[in-house]
Structure 1
């Protein structure tokens, strides 16, 4: 199971992902980074066929400046992803003896950034459609996306759009931790990237540990309030 999610905050966007890759054809899992830089002011993640996402990463690395400087970032992303999808669809062999149900060349790509003092979250679907989610303020892709949407709904009373990037990192990590508890195929370590007016910064392991400490304080504070309200 894969989950990549993005949420809008007052001063930027936070992306998060797990690092568990599931290979159904070989009945195995292994860790891999799912968040990648897109120039200095954006980031992206993907779900689906690893061969497709590998080609997308190379294309984005080579064309990040053109994508981020385009007047329509969604169209610019689409122009990079569509030829890759078409190539893999055209060369995919469906009927491999002994490997029925071994996968498809479908992949979802989601990118997010901050430009002109505004957030943007854009998805390119396996059919090449462009989805914009900055107005919604949250989006997730991958097989864990429905559970991520539910977890986000349970945190909606915290009004993430009105909170800082620091709070956004804690909220995204809390969602990922919840998915880790409920699904054996969502696995650590988790990846976080915060994007604001100063650009995109991928948090290292020590920084994510610090965010985890904040999440624990947040949970402890909730537990401390409950007796005052209900007991």
Structure 2
């Protein structure tokens, strides 16, 4: 199961993902990085066919400046992803003997960033459609997306769009931890990226551990308040 999510904060955007890749055809899972840089001021994640996402990564690495400087970033992203999708759809062999559950060449791509003091979150679906989610403030892709949306809704009373990216990192990590508890195919290590006016910063393992300590303090504070109110 894959989950990549993004949330809008007062001063930026935070992305997070798990690292478990499921290969249905071979009946196995393995860890892989799902968050990638897009230039210095954006990041992206994908869900679906790894062959498609590998080509997307190469295309994004080669054209990040043109994409981020385009008047319409969504159209620019779409122009690079669509030819890759079409190629894989045209060359995909669906009926392979002995591999009836070998997957499909479809993939979802989510890209997020911060430009001119405004957040943006875009999704390119397997059919090539562009989705805009910055105004909604939260979005997720992958087979764990529905659970991530539910977990995000349960945190909505904290008003993430009114808080800093530092709080956003804790909220996103808390969602990932919740999914780790409820789904065997969502697992560590987790990845986090915060994007603000200074650019995109992919958190190191030590930094994610520090965010985890904040989440633990947050949870303990909630328990203390509950005990004070109801016990």
Q: TM-score, normalised by structure 2?
A: 1.00
2:23 paired residue number: 23
1:68 paired residue number: 68
The secondary structure found in structure 1 opposite 2:65 is helix
1:151 paired residue number: 151
1:109 paired residue number: 109
Quote how far apart the aligned CAs of 1:225 are.
0.3
Q: Distance in 2 between matches of 1:39 and 1:78?
A: 17
Unaligned runs of 5+ in 2: none
Q: Distance in 2 between matches of 1:60 and 1:182?
A: 33
**Runs of 4+ deviating beyond 4 Å:** none
Quote how far apart the aligned CAs of 1:101 are.
1.5
Quote how far apart the aligned CAs of 1:184 are.
0.3
2:57 paired residue number: 57
1:193 paired residue number: 193
Quote how far apart the aligned CAs of 1:161 are.
0.4
The secondary structure found in structure 1 opposite 2:43 is strand
Quote how far apart the aligned CAs of 1:227 are.
1.5
Quote how far apart the aligned CAs of 1:174 are.
0.1
2:91 paired residue number: 91
Q: Distance in 1 between matches of 2:126 and 2:60?
A: 17
Q: Distance in 2 between matches of 1:47 and 1:227?
A: 41
Structural mapping, 1:166-177, within 5 Å: 166-177=166-177
1:161 paired residue number: 161
Unaligned runs of 5+ in 1: none
Kindly report the root-mean-square deviation, in angstroms, between the aligned alpha carbons of the 2 structures.
Answer: 0.3
Q: Distance in 2 between matches of 1:228 and 1:19?
A: 38
Q: Distance in 1 between matches of 2:230 and 2:148?
A: 29
Q: Distance in 2 between matches of 1:150 and 1:136?
A: 14
The secondary structure found in structure 1 opposite 2:102 is coil
Q: Distance in 2 between matches of 1:225 and 1:71?
A: 48
Quote how far apart the aligned CAs of 1:229 are.
1.1
Q: Distance in 2 between matches of 1:71 and 1:119?
A: 15
Q: Number of paired residues?
A: 231
Structural mapping, 1:189-228, within 5 Å: 189-228=189-228
Quote how far apart the aligned CAs of 1:228 are.
1.4
Q: Distance in 1 between matches of 2:226 and 2:95?
A: 57
